[in-house]
Chain A
Amino acid sequence: MSQLVITDLHASVITDAGEREILRGVTLTLDSGRTHAIMGPNGSGKSTLAYVIAGHPKYVVTSGSITLDGADVLAMSVDERAKAGLFLAMQYPVEVPGVSVSNFLRTSVTAVQGEAPKLRTWVKDMKSAMAELQMDPAFAERSVNEGFSGGEKKRHEILQLGLLAPKFAILDETDSGLDVDALRIVSEGVNRYREATDGGVLLITHYTRILRYIHPDVVHVFVGGRIVETGGPELADVLEAEGYDRYVTASA
């Protein structure tokens, strides 16, 4: 049983024009086995929250804390956070030319697990994980994310989620840009991860449709860099019907 605790987190983005505060006091506790949806309008800071948890160098935390089972996440380097059990499926996965998916995955799994997986079982595990996501085995030989379609990039993120089996997964708009089939395949991948590991999921999304496949325990409304309302799954239905207008006006 693990716990990710975010307390009164303030963070800014570093731009050429200086620092700009984006996160304005985020407080959230996520337990193993639980799924929290974070829903909010574009530009509200959802990706910023995801990046700050993962440790992207473009953002600075100005106050507040993040702990994982009591350990100070903000004191960890990016790779230490991954080794500690945090995983971020990115909204825009990065292309890394010349690094093959298979080499990348093996290097990553080796780093996170602390030892190289046995070659035999590894190849089998990778192939079956790819098959579950209906990814062509040829992807293993391609450069990481290079020339992948939007849907292929998202499947690749979920492939990594399954292989790395983190304690907590932050999924940043994994649903956006997916057609219905791909959405179902990706959602099933997330659900398999939840069942296999009892991991916690922070499901960042703009739309409610992914919640038909991945059922959240808690729904947060995220506006203006913080959580403005928290409720059960029924809150998503309210958002579906009414949109974010009410919150955006209130916070402005």
Chain B
Amino acid sequence: MTSPTAELAPPLDLAPRVRSLDPADFSLPTGREEEWRFTPSDAFTQFMEIVPGAGYVTATGPALVVPIGEISSTWLPIDRPSAVSRAHVSHAVVLDIPADHESTEPIHLRLFATAAVSYEHLEIRFGRFCKATVVIEQPVDAAICGAIVVTVGDGAQATIVNVADSERTQETMLAWHADLGRDSVFHGTQVSLGGSRLRILPSVAYRGPGGNAQLLGVFLADDGQFMEHRLLVEHDQPHCTSNVVYKGAISGDKSHTVWVGDVLVRREAIGIDTYEINRNLLLTDGARADSVPNLELETGDIASAGHASATGRFDDDQLFYLQARGIDEETARQLVVRGFFADIVSRIPDIEWQADIMGRIGTRLGVPAEIAGIDD
């Protein structure tokens, strides 16, 4: 869909109003703010003030763990929790991928927390013209609050897969921002499975023309989980591309997911191409999915812009078709849900990680081992 001119006015200005290193610059959420209106009032309260004895997130693998004072990040927190974390995190995990480096094997970053509540600051820098995939596994046994800051050099082809699959008692709150160089390609895939409550804030900015951001996500909420994904793509450079595809499956009483996709196209962003879609599958009654795609255009001089959102239930005809071939109802449902996620998971450029993530989804759905992997 090319957006009608009606969307040109009035400007909503979806960009966060406050960006600051100082937590005091962000007032405590009341629940009336746009960015907090879907979030349960008792969620994430532990991240609003400094937690005495809080730890930090550290890593195994090829990353360096350095005192926070040694990094030169220009990223500014976007809300109170990310500001609290940035102000108090003692160490950063830093991964530098050299210019022109090409790795076929994905780089696996397994993160650990040093305390029950831990702040995270992860910096990943893709050098110019490098080509690499980084798979991040978030800590499993701690409450995590912080940021992933990604810089993609000119002409680089960068892929990040961020897997949030913590214990079911833990809260996770992560802002992850990618800054795209000229003619670079960034694939950012969020996999949200675990935790009690999860709030993920992916954002993209472009430093030059020709950048291409593919923001993909899968989330699976059941058993009362709350999962919120808020995306912001800010186009202020010409001839860039953004494509956002998030898919969620929600089941169980009181399970609730929120997806908000804000795409902002500034006057300078001529010739850009942007599309965003969120599709949700409600697996049971009582599950709730909020989905709000926002597209704000300050110029009509673009290649194409579109957005879509669809939340549906199981397709009875799909289930019937599978069952009519002898497949029992439970297995048929699992096949349909796995199939629903498969197009996103299959875009992860590594077969083993595809299988790993499909396997995790399968396990959550109770799929027997012999069909738990991705389709072969």
Contacts and interface: CB of A to CB of B under 8 A. Distances in A.
B90 interface: no
Nearest to B370: A116
Nearest to A89: B324
A99 B331 contact: no
A99 B338 contact: yes
Interface stretch (A60-68, A105-113, A187-195, A217-225): A105-113
Interface in B263-308: none
B376 A103 contact: yes
Interface stretch (B23-31, B76-84, B232-240, B312-320): B312-320
Contacts of A88: 324
Interface in A33-82: 54-58, 77-79, 81-82
Contacts of A5: none
A31 B142 CA distance: 65
B339 A164 contact: no
**Max chain A C-beta neighbours (<10 A), residue from B323, B325, B327:** B325
A192 to B, nearest CB: 19
B352 interface: no
Contacts of A58: 316
Interface stretch (B186-194, B221-229, B340-348): B340-348
Given A98-B338, A143-B339, A79 B321 contact: no
Contacts, number: 97
B325 A100 contact: no
Give the size category of B's interface with A. Answer: 20 to 34
A144 B325 CA distance: 12
Given A57-B316, A96-B322, A116-B370, A107 B327 contact: yes
Contacts of A94: 315, 317-318, 320-321
A78 B324 contact: yes
A169 to B, nearest CB: 12
A55 B326 CA distance: 12
B346 to A, nearest CB: 8
A99 B315 CA distance: 14
Contacts of A93: 321
Given A82-B326, A97-B342, A108-B327, 6 more contacts: A78-B329, A90-B324, A96-B318, A97-B343, A104-B325, A164-B326
